[in-house]
Structure 1
Amino acid sequence: MSALFEPYTLRLLTVPNRVWMAPMCQYSAEADGPNAGVPGDWHFAHYAARATGGTGLILTEATAVSPEGRISPHDLGIWNDTQVEAFRRITGFLKAQGTVPGVQIAHAGRKASTGRPWEGGAPVGPEAGGWQPFGPSPVAFDEGHPVPDALTTGQIAEVVGQFADAARRALDAGFEVVEVHGAHGYLIGEFLSPHSNHRTDEYGGSFGNRIRLALEVVGAVRAVWPEDLPVFFRISATDWLDDKGWTADETVRFAALLKEHGVDLLDVSSGGNAARVRIPVGPGYQVPFAARVKAETGLPVAAVGLITEAEQAEKIVSNGEADAVLLGRELLRSPSWARQAAHELGGRVRVPEQYHRSV
C-alpha cells in the first residue's frame, strides 16, 4: 500500500489520502459591488476539477477576512453572508467527490491592494479602486510600494475578531478545515519577523511579543471552530535573511507553542516577507524545514515546494518527513495528478463513475 494514499485522521476528520492542494490565488472575483470577493464559476470549475481528479484535501486560495485584507481587489473574501452562500456550492461538490474542503483565511497587511499578476502586480492606489494598506510598522515591502499605516492596539484587536468571524462563516459555508495564513509576508507573518516588525510595544521586539498576534488569532479561531475539526497554520519557515529576519530556529520554537494552542498541523513554506531575496529553489527545497518541525516538536506537518513527481511525494511521506504533501503549480498543470500518482504507486483514489473508463 502506498503511504501517499493512506487515509490521514486529524481530530475526528479523516482525509482520504495525503495528496493535498495548496492555496493558490486566482485573482478572479469581482472587485467591488455586492459580489466583491464572491467565488464564481471560475472558482467552482477550478476546485471541482482537482476534486474529481482525486485530491484528498483542497485548501482555497487566501480568502480575506476583510475587504482591506485582500492581496488584490479581485481576491476571494469571507467577510459576509453572500460569500458564504456561494462557497456552499463549492464545498458541497467537493464533499460529494470525497474531497475534504478547507479554507485559508488571511489578511494581506502591507502587501495588500496590488494588481493582478498578469496585469503587472503593481500596488493599486485608492484612486484606482485600491486602498491604503496597514501593517505592524510603517515599513514598505519594497521600492514603489506604499508605506503602510501602523496598526494601533485597538485595530489589532479588530483584526483578531475578523479572523474569528471568518472562521465562523467558514464553518457555515461547509468547510471542514480552517487554515490561518501566517506565511509569505502577509499580516501575521509581518508581525512574526523583525524585518517587518519594528514595534516597541507588546506586539514587537522580543520573540514572545512578535508571536503575540499569531497566538491571539489562533486562540480566537480555535474558540469558534469545532473541537472535532482541525485547525492548520501556514508558516514561512525562514525569511532567507539569516538572523536579520524570521528563522528556522524560531519556526521550531513557535511550532511547539502552536501545538499547545490547538493547532493540529503546520503547513510549512518559506519566504515572501523580504523583496528580492535569493532563495535556493530546487525540487523539495522546503521539505527539510517541515521534517525538522515534525522531528523536534511532534506537530504534524505538510510539505510544499516543487513537489512534482509521484515517487518524490511517496518518499517524503513514507520517510516520515511530512504527513502530507501540498501541491501547487503541479495541480494547475495536472488536475488529475492524484489519480495518475495512484496508478503509478499502486494506491487507490475515488474515481467518479462518469470517468470509470479512465481507470
Structure 2
Amino acid sequence: MRSISVQSNTIAERAAQALFRPFSVGSLTVPNRIVMAPMTREFSPGGVPGADVADYYARRAAGGTGLIVTEGTYVDHPSAGLSDRVPRFHGEESLAGWAAVAEAVHREGGRIVPQLWHVGMARSAGAPPFPDAPPVGPSGIGLDGSESGHALTQSDLDDLVAAFAAAAAAAERIGFDGIELHGAHGYLIDQFLWEGTNRRSDAYGGDPVARTRFAAEIVAACRSAVSADFPILFRTSQWKMGNYDARLATTPEALEAILAPLAAAGVDVFHSSTRRYWLPEFEGSDLNLAGWTKKLTGKSVITVGSVGLDNEFTAAFRGEAAGVSDIRPLLDRLERDEFDLVAVGRALIADPEWAAKIRDGRAGDLAPFSPALLGSLR
C-alpha cells in the first residue's frame, strides 16, 4: 500500500504542475487544463435541458473539471437532429434551460461552452424531432456511400450558416463562455470536409481547401455574431461514426490545408478527437492529432481519446466496462506542451470527482466505467 500511495503522490505532484495550471484564451480563463468531453446523453425531452441536466454538469464542475463542453445540441434547422431527447440550442424554453445550466456550472467554479451540432446525412428519414425533414448533406451521400438524402443548395447553405451564427450569439447572450462547433465524426460540417461525402463540383467541393469553405463560412459568421474575444472551439477528427479507418488527411501537409482556412476564419482552439490519444497520427513523429494540429496552426488544442481508461469508447457499445488506467503517459505529453488541454469522457461519467481525485493524490479511489452508467443521469 505504501508504494501505491507514493506513486499517487508523485502523480499528484506532476498533475499539479501540468494539469492544474490556468489556461486563458480570449475572454475565457479556465482554472485548469481538464475539459469534460461532449457526450450525447438524450436526457432532454422535447429538446429542453432541465434541472437534472444542470445538476449533471454542475457536479462535474464541483468535482474539479475546469471546462465543460456540453453534449451536442441542435442548431435551428429542421434536419439538424435525429432525436427528440437531444437538447436544442434554439427556442425560448430550450435557451432558458441552457441559461440555467451555465449558471449552475459557474456557481461551482467551472466554465462551459455548448457544442453546436447538425447531424447532416447521419439523420434517418422520418426521425424526430421533425419527421418530415430530409437528411441533408453536401452531396446527399451518406457515410456508407448511399445516395439517401438531399444535396444542399446555396440557399440551404446560407440558412445553415445563419443558424450556427444565431446559436453562437445566443450562447454569448445567455451567459456561456464560448462555443464549440462540431466539425467531426462524420456529421454535417465534417461531411463537407471529407471527400468521401463531398462530391460537389461548385466552390464547396473539390480540393481540400474548397471542401473547407462551408466550415470556414460558419466560423466567420459565428465570429461576426459574437464579441471579438468570445472563444470559438472547433472539433475535428479523422474517423467517422461507423467508419473508423476514414481519414481527412494522410499527411501533415494535407491536414494543414484543411486547418489553415479554419484558423484564419476565427477558430481559437481546435479539439482534436481520436479514439486513443497516445497513438501517433503520422509516420515519423510521435505527435498525436492534437500535437500536429498545434504545430501546424499555432492555435491552442485539446486532446481527447480514452483518457484515464484502459479501452476505447467503442467497447461501451459492446457492453464492455473499462478499468482505470495510468495517466503518467498523458502527463509526459502535456509536460512537453504537445497539447494545451485534455478532454475526459467516460471517466467523468463514471466519476464526477475525477479531476479532484487526480489533484489530491487519490488516483487509487477513481471509479471504473460501466456501460450501465450511460442510462443514468448522475
Q: Same fold (TM over 0.5)?
A: yes
* In structure 2, C-alpha distance between the alignment counterparts of 1:190 and 1:147, rounded to whole Å: 14
1:110 to 97, 118, 121: 121
The farther-off stretch of 57-66 and 311-320 is 311-320
* In structure 2, C-alpha distance between the alignment counterparts of 1:108 and 1:64, rounded to whole Å: 8
TM-score scaled by structure 1?
A: 0.82
The alignment status of 1:315 with 2:332, answered yes or no, reads yes
Structure 1 match to 2:193: 192
Structure 2 match to 1:29: 44
Q: Residues 8-157 of structure 1: matches in 2 within 5 Å?
A: 8-30=23-45, 36-66=46-76, 67-113=78-124, 125=127, 129=131, 131-142=133-144, 147-157=148-158
Structure 1 gaps of 5+ residues are: 31-35, 114-122, 271-280, 347-359
Shift of 1:217: 0.1
Which amino acid counterpart does residue 37 of structure 2 have in structure 1?
Answer: A
* In structure 2, C-alpha distance between the alignment counterparts of 1:126 and 1:53, rounded to whole Å: 34
Which amino acid counterpart does residue 27 of structure 1 have in structure 2?
Answer: E
Which amino acid counterpart does residue 94 of structure 2 have in structure 1?
Answer: Q
Describe the shift of the 1:63–1:127 C-alpha distance in structure 2 as closer, same or farther (beyond 3 A). closer
* In structure 2, C-alpha distance between the alignment counterparts of 1:311 and 1:197, rounded to whole Å: 40
Shift of 1:290: 0.7
* In structure 2, C-alpha distance between the alignment counterparts of 1:50 and 1:219, rounded to whole Å: 31
Structure 1 match to 2:289: 289
Q: Please list the CA deviations of residues 244-295 of structure 1 after superposition, one character each: whole Å capped at 9, or x if unmatched.
A: x55453333322332222211100014xxxxxxxxxx546337711111112
Which amino acid counterpart does residue 211 of structure 2 have in structure 1?
Answer: R
Is the contact made by 2:140 and 2:150 (CA closer than 8 Å) also made in structure 1? yes
Which amino acid counterpart does residue 207 of structure 1 have in structure 2?
Answer: P
- What's the secondary structure of 2:96's corresponding residue? helix
* In structure 2, C-alpha distance between the alignment counterparts of 1:248 and 1:179, rounded to whole Å: 25
* In structure 1, C-alpha distance between the alignment counterparts of 2:96 and 2:117, rounded to whole Å: 19
Q: Please list the CA deviations of residues 65-103 of structure 1 after superposition, one character each: whole Å capped at 9, or x if unmatched.
A: 124212423211112122111111111111111100111
Shift of 1:209: 1.7
* In structure 1, C-alpha distance between the alignment counterparts of 2:332 and 2:250, rounded to whole Å: 26
How large is the RMSD of aligned CA atoms in angstroms?
A: 2.4
Describe the shift of the 1:125–1:11 C-alpha distance in structure 2 as closer, same or farther (beyond 3 A). closer
Q: Residues 144-223 of structure 1: matches in 2 within 5 Å?
A: 147-223=148-224
Identity %: 34
* In structure 2, C-alpha distance between the alignment counterparts of 1:11 and 1:127, rounded to whole Å: 35
TM-score scaled by structure 2?
A: 0.78
Which amino acid counterpart does residue 259 of structure 1 have in structure 2?
Answer: A
Is the contact made by 2:217 and 2:265 (CA closer than 8 Å) also made in structure 1? no
Structure 2 gaps of 5+ residues are: 1-15, 282-286, 309-325, 364-378
Shift of 1:333: 0.9
Give the total of aligned pairs: 320
* In structure 2, C-alpha distance between the alignment counterparts of 1:142 and 1:238, rounded to whole Å: 13
Describe the shift of the 1:246–1:292 C-alpha distance in structure 2 as closer, same or farther (beyond 3 A). closer
Shift of 1:43: 1.4
* In structure 1, C-alpha distance between the alignment counterparts of 2:65 and 2:129, rounded to whole Å: 41
1:258 to 251, 255, 262: 262
